[in-house]
Amino acid sequence: MRAISYTRATDVHSAVEAVTSDPGSSFLAGGTTEVDLLRLDVLRPHRLVDINRLPLTGVEERADGGLLIGALARMSEVAEDPAVVERYPMLSQALLLGASAQLRHMASMGGNLMQRVRCAYYRDPESACNKRVPGSGCSALEGVHRGHAILGTSEHCIATHPSDLAVALVALDAVVHVEGMDGARTIPVDDFFLLPGDTPEREHPLTPGELITAIEVPALSMARRSLYLKVRDRESYEFALASAAAALALEDGVVREVRLALGGVATKPWRARRAEDVLMGERADDAAFTRAATAELAPATTRPMNAFKAELARRTLVRALRTVATTGGGTA
Ligand SMILES: Cc1cc2nc3c(=O)[nH]c(=O)nc-3n(C[C@H](O)[C@H](O)[C@H](O)COP(=O)(O)OP(=O)(O)OC[C@H]3O[C@@H](n4cnc5c(N)ncnc54)[C@H](O)[C@@H]3O)c2cc1C
Ligand code: SF4
């Protein structure tokens, strides 16, 4: 194994400076992705900058009634936070349906947003992969692509974004707080994830060394009636084949406000704006839910092995909407 040096940062500035000044460095949070890929020789940092001592933990109340979640808060801690469970059930459910209990105790919120793609070709240094080696080709296009994306794809990459958390955050219009050598800035979570286009190796708008410090979830009273529904090959410990985050505000059975996002089917956490537009002002019934889901999946580009995902995503979105409309959310 290659030699890797390790330093532990004690403040945000020194952590940012350490990685910015040395492009061969990488932040280390829970290590559940970073160490995994380092062992596979897919990531090759020569120095890890451990950020676990930085004061970026906890869930804090904001003046507007929203929450500021520290980048180093653990997935399990946030999933069980009473304010998250009560005000944003879809967020709590998305976290609890991700990975395993052991991983959720280790894995941080910032690390979850920055986790790498789960495409098997990306994780195999012998395979062509434009994300790992730009310009080398995409083995998934003609290879095994059952789990791959049908929305937001390009001829250069069809990998799905793996994070469940990010799907809920994009539906909630959350904002990512980051800090770099030029100071702090915020990025709406929908802009934080880039489509692959011609540059699949570029997944975020971060400059090298920029650190996620927190995730801000704005106040949204309708999110109390919300759901994250995840469909996967196994009941637990598995990434989504299709998932849906849904929040609904109804008035006399009519949709007054709606927030929707899809996971497991797109190259980024997918805000389902077409479906939202179809539903606004409609009666909250199965016919409208089906029209909305069909509109969202209309631009899907499928391949032989993942063609089933268009119908699966449509049904997942309809079921999520029906559940929120009839029960207010609860468990998926
Ligand atoms: C077997 C398995 C199953 C899983 N299943 C799921 C699942 O179903 N759903 C799901 O959503 N996730 C799943 N995951 C992914 C898991 O949630 C992530 O591995 C985890 O959230 C990453 O967090 P971490 O703190 O361990 O990050 P690390 O591994 O420490 O870091 C990951 C990446 O993020 C960077 N990074 C970390 N923190 C920051 C920061 N604050 N600012 C900038 N960069 C940063 C690191 O440099 C690294 O590149 C699974 C993982 C495994 C191993
Ligand atoms: S789908 Fe993306 S990650 Fe997978 S092999 Fe193709 S370029 Fe690489």
Profile the chain (332 residues) by mean pLDDT over runs of 10 residues. Answer: 90 97 96 94 94 98 95 98 97 97 98 97 97 98 97 98 98 98 98 98 97 98 97 92 97 97 98 98 98 98 98 98 90 52
Who's near 27: CB < 8 A, 6+ residues apart?
A: 15, 19, 34, 48, 49, 51, 211
How many whole angstroms separate alpha carbon 260 and alpha carbon 273? 7
Amino acid, single-letter form, for residue 190: D
Ligand nearest to the CA of 47: 1
pLDDT value for 9: 98
pLDDT value for 235: 85
pLDDT value for 136: 98
109 contacts 89 by C-beta, under 8 angstroms: no
How many whole angstroms separate alpha carbon 12 and alpha carbon 158? 35
pLDDT value for 2: 79
Ligand 2 atom 8: the closest Cα is on which residue? 129
How many whole angstroms separate alpha carbon 107 and alpha carbon 113? 11
How many angstroms does the Cα of residue 33 sit away from the middle of ligand 1? Answer: 5
How many angstroms does the Cα of residue 128 sit away from the middle of ligand 2? Answer: 8
254 contacts 282 by C-beta, under 8 angstroms: yes
DSSP 116: P
pLDDT value for 1: 60
CA nearest neighbour of 33 among 15, 18, 48: 48
- Whether residue 214 has its Cβ less than 6 Å from ligand 1: no
Collapse the DSSP code of 107 into the 3-class scheme (helix H, G, I; strand E, B; otherwise coil) and give the result: coil
Q: Is the pTM of this model over 0.85?
A: yes
pLDDT value for 331: 55
How many whole angstroms separate alpha carbon 133 and alpha carbon 123? 12
